[in-house]
A and B are shown apart, each in its own frame.
Chain A
Amino acid sequence: MNTTQRLTFVTLSWLMLATATTPALAQASSSRIADLEAKMNAMAAELAVLKEELAAAKASGDSANLQAMQADINAAKQIAERATQSANEWKDVTSVTHLSGYASADYVSPENGNAAFIANFNPMFHFLLNDKLLWEAELEIEVEENGETAIGLEYTTVDIFLNDSMTLMAGKFLSPVGNFRQNIHPSWINKLPSAPPGFGHDGAAPISEVGLQLRGVAPVGDNSRFTYAAYIGNGPKLEGEDGEIHAIEAEGFAGDPDDEKVFGGRVAFLPIPQLELAVSGAFGNAAVVENDGVDFEGDPTRDYKVLGFDASYRWNDLDLRGEYIKQEVDPQEMSVAPEGGKWETWYAQGAYKLGQGKWEGVVRFTDFNSPHPDDSQEQWAFGVNYLITPSAMVKIGYEANDGLAGEITDDDRWIAQIAYGY
């Protein structure tokens, strides 16, 4: 290969490299980027050789060839600079978009009834501007029994970082009351294939809220800290059925039919990083806005209260956590559902990793009490997990359930799940 051919080769290579490092292809893996860097280094070496040859040509006095070579080298330099700029472009952007989330595929086999496959997909979106503002959102997509696809907006908030330790959030957010719903429920984080009874929909724990939330942290010394969250939101809806409160729907609504806001929050203390102790709650008013499956207006408001405690502790491969939460509404004589109600649940869970963190055993006890006996349930849950990676795992779980005889809450069941957080 003569000098001109080699120059052409180098120039074309730089062109290909510049193209390969454009933002459109920035989704390449780390190994791909390392490969590109290696190629850049190789071509830089090639360029150095060309420079040496140019110097040699200068010494020989071939002026026409010298000018041609100099022009080629200048062109190659410009292409190299552009390629370098493209490769480093991501470091200088003021906004970042990131697609994340988690998904799971389950096989549920109850003691009575038919076994079935289930699938869930929860994509999460992060849009970061100037490291000062984050817009985040999560969708909850699942296949229903009738084959239709249910899509829900789990949360969507604009988060403004006010200072070093405080963030203001606006939008629909996961309830900061308790810990399971806001931090532990994603399938790749929850160590068992199912949520503890009472921590799902229409249970004892609020799911989400629409409003404003202020969150922050207050370090105390080198190892201790307080974290806090306070919010104001539209509050829950009460669902009446057959003259009683069927459920408190605390799932974040854009409307506020009872025109009464709810206040709540959580304060946690971490005396050491491995131990977290927290108390949380909410208060406000709520009213029946749906009765016997039909929208209902004019029902008088009543007091609504939530109280929760949660704790977690880690020691090497041992992970312990527990949570108590109670959600209640007072009686209201003038209502279509005059009686009040209290939904209360607690769980304690222990998990231990074995086999260099590849295997994990889990046991959990939950006691959920509802005003409706057919919803109340005691549950022992046992699980064995195999971690393919820290965020991808296969879980096998068995639930020994004790509920009202003849109800599904009394059915023991096996659950196999593949979960992946990406």
Chain B
Amino acid sequence: MKIKSLSAISGITIVAIFISATMSLQQPATAAETTATAQNDPMQFARGAKAWADTCARCHNMRDARSLRDDQWRAAMAHMRIRAGLTAKETEDILAFLQGSN
């Protein structure tokens, strides 16, 4: 298959995914919701600690939880979710651990 045809097919597929993804942005999420989840799941802190230890040191030194504020960790973890290949659930677990240790 020629590269141009492949480009067109890939482009259409990705645009379709992009549109459906944009529609999913309507559901708000806040730090308060994360906190509420943590309160309902007492094991989240422990899971977050393990995921933090397993994941972060793969590339860099483990940063102190106190090096950022709770809200800053929220944005930083969104960045690391992509970089480190984390699921949303693992990201929330690590965030709960960092905010709980802060």
| Cβ–Cβ contact B21 & A160, under 8 A | yes
Closest B residue by C-beta to A353: B61
Closest B residue by C-beta to A33: B69
Closest B residue by C-beta to A227: B85
| Cβ–Cβ contact B85 & A421, under 8 A | no
The answer to the question of A244 belonging to the interface, with a C-beta cut-off of 8 Å to chain B, is: no
| Cβ–Cβ contact A94 & B85, under 8 A | no
Enumerate chain B residues within 8 angstroms of A314, measured Cβ to Cβ: 57-58
| Cβ–Cβ contact B3 & A91, under 8 A | no
| Nearest CB in chain A: distance from B37 CB, A | 12
Partner of B67, one of A133, A184, A389: A389
| Cβ–Cβ contact B78 & A30, under 8 A | no
The secondary structure that dominates the B interface is helix
| Chain A interface category by residue count | 35 or more
Contact (A232, B63) CB under 8 Å given A219-B87, A276-B58: no
Closest A residue by C-beta to B92: A131
| Cβ–Cβ contact A134 & B35, under 8 A | no
| Nearest CB in chain A: distance from B80 CB, A | 10
Enumerate chain A residues within 8 angstroms of B69, measured Cβ to Cβ: 30, 33
| Cβ–Cβ contact B71 & A214, under 8 A | no
The answer to the question of B102 belonging to the interface, with a C-beta cut-off of 8 Å to chain A, is: yes
The answer to the question of A260 belonging to the interface, with a C-beta cut-off of 8 Å to chain B, is: yes
| Cβ–Cβ contact A169 & B82, under 8 A | yes
Interface size on B, residues (CB 8 A): 51
Contact (A390, B64) CB under 8 Å given A225-B85, A314-B57: yes
| Nearest CB in chain B: distance from A208 CB, A | 14
| Cβ–Cβ contact B59 & A184, under 8 A | yes
| Cβ–Cβ contact A134 & B79, under 8 A | yes
Contact (A167, B28) CB under 8 Å given A219-B87, A261-B7: no
Encode B39-61 as 1/0 by CB contact (under 8 A) with A.
Answer: 00000000000000011011111
Count of A-B contacts judged by CB separation below 8 Å:
152
| Cβ–Cβ contact B54 & A183, under 8 A | no
The secondary structure that dominates the A interface is strand
Contact (A162, B24) CB under 8 Å given A170-B18, A217-B86, A263-B10: yes
Report the Cα distance A94→B21, complex, angstroms.
Answer: 18
| Cβ–Cβ contact B64 & A189, under 8 A | no
Report the Cα distance A260→B3, complex, angstroms.
Answer: 7
Partner of A390, one of B31, B63, B76: B63
Report the Cα distance A188→B59, complex, angstroms.
Answer: 11
| Cβ–Cβ contact A162 & B28, under 8 A | no
Partner of A164, one of B6, B30, B87: B87
Binds B, one of A96-104, A115-123, A327-335: A96-104
| Nearest CB in chain A: distance from B100 CB, A | 13
| Cβ–Cβ contact B29 & A94, under 8 A | yes
Contact (A90, B87) CB under 8 Å given A162-B21, A162-B24, A168-B21: no
| Cβ–Cβ contact B66 & A133, under 8 A | no
Q: Can you list 21 A-B contacts (CB < 8 A)?
A: A92-B30, A94-B28, A124-B79, A126-B75, A130-B25, A130-B27, A131-B78, A134-B79, A160-B18, A160-B21, A168-B18, A170-B18, A189-B60, A212-B11, A215-B82, A232-B14, A263-B10, A273-B58, A312-B58, A390-B67, A391-B60
Apart from A216-B85, A273-B55, A390-B63, list 10 A-B contacts with CB within 8 A.
A90-B31, A96-B74, A98-B71, A131-B29, A132-B27, A169-B82, A212-B11, A263-B10, A314-B57, A390-B62
